[in-house]
Structure formats: structure tokens, C-alpha cells
Structure 1
Amino acid sequence: MAATKPLKIVLFLGTVRENRLGLRVAKFMQNYLVKTGHDVDFMDAQELDLPLLKKPLHFYRDQSEAPPLLVDLGQRVKTADGYVMVSGEYNHSIPPALSNLLDYFPGSSFSYKPSAIVCYSPGQYGGMRAAIQLRALLGEIGCLSVSNIFGIPQANKSLDEEGNPQNDHMESGAKRLITQLDWHAHAMRNHRESVGIPK
């Protein structure tokens, strides 16, 4: 049997708050995905520093007139096999930087691919209130989230600044989530390649 090409996963980090814990979580997930054989493309809202959305990529009728960075990001999103969303919780909701980043691209870029949610907080709920809202958003743009949500309470104690896990929960939680994501991503990729997507 021929070897299966690695899944291309875009890892989104959608927090830009001062002293953010999200970078620890994103580093951990990036390391885990690489270790388990994925092709990982990390998109950090803070590093990309896209302005508050006024004109998304799909509003440019002539793509040559769009900012080159936006065209490049759009292609990377479109060619992914799945997505991992790392989300904090701002006022019990989705961080605006995350929704702002996702809204730059049309739903068709995400469609018929799975997503996985990793949420966190320094408190006991692990960002779950934001995750539930994020699940609705991901469904609307076409990348349904897998049933498992990887919630990380007390993220400041669960990971060090380099994203190294400080307890067994981190590895086992990531494994449950990514095992589900992989199953769906392989199935959807195989179906896209064999029959295409609905017109």
C-alpha cells in the first residue's frame, strides 16, 4: 500500500492580548502535530497583524489587486486538509482577533474539511464558553468541528512558556482531539479527491 501523504493542517492562534497564554498552547499543539506526522502551517493573529476587517479577500474581483499577504494566506487556507483553532476566552466569548482573521477568507476556502477546537484559560473552565460559540462559527463557514473539544484549564500551570506540558492531561487530550481530526480529515480528503465537492 502506498504511503499516505501527510495531512496539511492550518493552526490558527487567535489571541493578541498582552501576556497571552495562547502562544504556549499553540506551541504545544504545533509540536504535537509535527511529532505525529502532520504538515503544519501556523497562522498567528498577532504576528500577521491584519487590520480590523474592511475588505475580505473574496471582495477583490481582480485578485492581483489584493494585498500579496492576503492572497498568500488565502491559498494556504484553501489548500489545507483541516484546521486547529486555538482560542482563548474574552468576556466569555470568541477573541475578536480570531474571528477577524477567519473572516478575511470566504467560507468556500474552509468547506468540506474538518476543524478541531483547543480552548484554554487561566481559570477552571478552560475557555469552554468561547469554544461552544466557536463551534457554531466553524459550522457556518463549512469546517465542522469534531465532537471532542480539548479544554485546558489553568493553562499557565499546564504548560511552560515554551509549550512544554507539565502534566499527563496535555498529551492525552491532544491525542484524543487529533485522532478524531485525522479520521475526518482523511475521509474528507479522500472523498474530495474521488468525487469532488458539490457545485
Structure 2
Amino acid sequence: MASKPLKYVLFLGTVRENRLGLRVAKFMQNFLLKAGHDVDFMDAQELNLPLLKKPLHFYKNPSEAPPLLVDLGNRIKEADGYVVITGEYNHSIPPALANLLDHFPGSSFSYKPSGIVCYSPGQYGGMRAAIQLRALLGEIGCISVSNIFGLPQTNKSLDEEGKPLNDHMESGAKRLLTQLDWHAHAMRNHREGFGIPGK
């Protein structure tokens, strides 16, 4: 009996002019959909959340929270896992990505896996930001799988519509997703069978 599709939130956390991240997001969204998953794409640029002053969990009365935050929070909670796309700004995590994630409590992400996709136009593919992002994701409860999908020279790897221009794209995404799917299925089964500690 086939299991129900996994639900992934795909985060894109770059808002810089002429960003390459949208190419990466289009590619990953198509790859996840072809694998039979449900994908909820959250783009920091499109969401345009303000610089963090009051996260969702600081509202004692949820009805007083901005409707957009409530909606996003519910969608994050409903996910089985996360794919987080990061560029590299000054060898670090883009501020818009941290700002987006920090609007929500760690309990929204807990006991679910994440996968990191990093990119840059340079030769290192955003790996320095990815290593920092791994620590952040672990702290909010969605520990990343060991494989990191790095995309060096992104402008030569994907066209503007996210179509791959070399074999590395498909094989790299498959390695990441194979790990992520295994963990997402296992953790969903355990949540459904045994619940979450403290609840």
C-alpha cells in the first residue's frame, strides 16, 4: 500500500537584486513535484515580511496576530519536512532567510527533517552559508540530513526557468531527496504512532 505524499515547505531566503535563487527554487520545486510530493513554496521576497520585531509566538492571543503569520505558521506545522535554499552573503546566511524562519517558534518545525540547497555564482556553491544554516536548523528542531546539495556557478547550471544545464543538477538533487524522504517518512510514522514529547 502506497503511503500518502510527503508535504514539504520549500523556503527561498534571498531578496537581493538579480538573485539566482529563483532559478534554484524553480528547479527544486519541479524536482519535488515530479517525485510525487506536495510542495508549499515560501519566497521571502514575495512574502515581504517586516524586519522581525514580534514573532508569531509572542502574541498571547493568536487572533491578534497578522493573518499572514498565522497562515504561514499553520502551513509550516502541517509540513513533513523542509527544503531550505540559501545563497551566501558575505560568506553567511542571507538576512532575509533568518528573518523568515525567526518569525515562527521552533515547535512549528520540531521532529521533522530538513534538507539544505546552497548556491553561488562562485566555485564554493554557498557551502559556508550552508554550514551555518545547518546549526540554525538544528536549533529550531528540524535537523538537516547529512547530504548538502551545493550548486557552484549557478548561472551555468540552470537557466532562468530552472531547467538544468548539466547532469549534476538531477543527480545532486536525487541524492539529497533520497535521504530527506527516508527521514521524513520515518519521522512522520513515528509522530503518528507515538506523538511528540510533551504533547
Shorter chain as denominator, the TM-score bin is over 0.9
Residues 103-118 of structure 1 mapped to structure 2, 5 A cutoff: 103-118=102-117
The number of aligned residues is: 198
Amino acid at match of 2:120: S
Which residue number in structure 1 is paired with residue 120 of structure 2?
A: 121
The equivalent of 1:182 in structure 2 is 181
CA distance in structure 1 between the aligned counterparts of 2:144 and 2:124, rounded to whole angstroms = 19
CA distance in structure 2 between the aligned counterparts of 1:61 and 1:37, rounded to whole angstroms = 38
**2:71 maps to 1:78:** no
Q: Which amino acid aligns with 2:181?
A: D
Query: What does residue 43 of structure 2 align with?
Result: 44
User: Where do residues 82-101 of structure 1 align in structure 2 (5 Å cutoff)?
Assistant: 82-101=81-100
Please give the secondary structure, in 1, of the residue aligned with 2:60. Answer: coil
Tell me the equivalent position of 1:197: 196
Q: Deviations over 1:29-70 (max 9, x none)?
A: 000000000000000000000000000000001110001111
Q: Tell me the secondary structure at the aligned position of residue 78 of structure 1.
A: helix
SS in 2 for 1:74: helix
Q: Give, in whole Å, the separation in 1 of the partners of 2:108 and 2:153.
A: 34
CA distance in 1, matches of 2:50, 2:95: 11
- Provide the secondary structure at the position in 2 that maps to 1:10: strand
What SS does the aligned partner of 1:130 have? Answer: helix
Q: Distance in 2 between matches of 1:166 and 1:156?
A: 9
Partner SS, residue 40 of structure 1? strand
Q: Structure 1 length normalisation: TM-score? A: 0.99
- In structure 1, what residue type is equivalent to 2:17? E
Q: Report SS of the residue matched to 2:30.
A: helix
Q: Where has structure 1 moved over 6 Å in runs of 4 or more?
A: none
In 2: Cα distance, 1:78 partner to 1:56 partner: 15
Q: Which residue of 2 aligns with 1:144?
A: 143
Residue 189 (structure 1) shift: 0.1
CA positional deviation for 1:127: 0.1
SS in 2 for 1:92: coil
Q: Percent identity?
A: 86
RMSD of Structure 2 on Structure 1 (CA): 0.4
2:32 aligned residue: 33
Counterpart of 1:12 in structure 2 is 11
Query: 1:115: Cα distance to partner?
Result: 0.1
Aligned to 1:159: 158
Deviation at 1:170, TM superposition (A): 0.0
- Structure 2 gaps of 5+ residues are none
2 CA distance for matches of 1:109 and 1:68? Answer: 16
Report deviation, 1:85: 0.3
